[in-house]
Amino acid sequence: NCQISLGHGAFYAIGAYTTAILLDKTGIPYWATVPVAGAICLGAGFLFGLPALRLDGLYLALATVALAVATPQILKFKGFDYWTGGVQGIQVDSPAAPFGLPLNTDRWIYYFCLIWTVALVIIARNLLRGRTGRAMIAIRDHPLAAAAMGVDTALYKSLTFGVSAMYTGIAGALGAVLSAYVAPDSFPVLLSIKFLVGSVVGGIASISGAFIGALFIEFTPNFADQISKAAPDAIFGIFLIALMYLMPTGTIGIFNFVGVRFRRGAVAKRQY
């Protein structure tokens, strides 16, 4: 019963602009803007999830893609120019390594993003193993049974949307720190579609699969461009179709299948 969102590019933009605005308008250090961006996106995602509970399947996908379409236009609205910089966006300074560390800016940002990645993976694993995660999984697999067992499906569905928005917002904040520039046209609808492609390629509902999906959407277009300068998008599409045909459960599904077969073979050998 997985729900498809095509609007997470909007939360990526919210996270990026939160960091850029705080860096541009206040004296908040860059590292402190990241959790603020995550908190804002958590609240925005939770609130958006409340009315979205009435929608399902394709209708939810349409509602979320409308959010992705509207966000760049809202950021261009002249009434918000003081905060968003309008169509020209916001330029911010790249952070230097703290504590006198002998690292250049690019290397420090790499380690800064790596620290956040490790922290978010730990949070996700603990969340899934806890009561909240079990409730989310129950709603995903058997929503009627979960409701019959007393799980507040409305609350947990909205919370799930909020948590996913928080992760996307933190990614947007880190992206703003990395690029030192944000603009409305940096967040097209295609960005949301790329997020969905990464999830499907890696394997939906898999933390490990998220890394594989990220590698796919980041490096496959470059590889396709090297194969054909004239039609890189067509090459990328062929790769994607072939991958979905060969691995309908995502790449992580293949690893899980191989792991299960290996364990069964090991058990069978011990029995004999």
| N-terminal to C-terminal alpha carbon distance within the chain | 41
Q: CA 58 to CA 76: how far, in whole Å? A: 28
| Residue the block writes with tokens 């470059």 | 222
CA-CA distance, 190 to 239, in Å (whole number)? 17
d(CA 221, CA 235): 8
**Residue 1 pLDDT class (50, 70, 90 cuts):** low
Give the pLDDT score at 54.
75
Give 49-90 pLDDT, tens digit per residue.
888 777 777 888 888 999 999 999 999 999 999 999 999 999
For residues 218-228, give the mean pLDDT: 85
Give the residue ranges of DSSP H helices in 81-231: 81-84, 105-129, 131-141, 143-148, 153-179, 189-202, 207-227
Check residue 259 and give its pLDDT: 64
Q: What mean pLDDT is predicted for residues 203-227?
A: 86
Q: What is the pLDDT of residues 5-48, one digit of tens each?
A: 889 999 999 999 999 999 999 889 999 999 999 999 999 999 99
pLDDT, tens digit (0-9, with 9 covering 90-100), for 128-182: 888 888 888 888 888 888 888 888 888 888 899 999 999 999 999 999 999 999 9
Report which residue type is found at 218. Answer: E
* Predicted TM-score of the model (pTM): 0.88
pLDDT at 245: 81
Q: Which residues pair with 90 in a beta bridge?
A: 182
Q: Which residues contact 14 (CB under 8 A, 6 or more apart)?
A: 37, 40, 41, 44, 71, 169, 172
What's the pLDDT score for residue 257?
65
Which pLDDT score is estimated for 116? 96
Q: What is the pLDDT of residues 175-204, one digit of tens each?
A: 999 999 999 999 999 999 999 888 888 888
Section 210-229 average pLDDT = 86
> Per residue in 83-126, pLDDT tens?
999 999 999 988 888 888 888 999 999 999 999 999 999 999 99
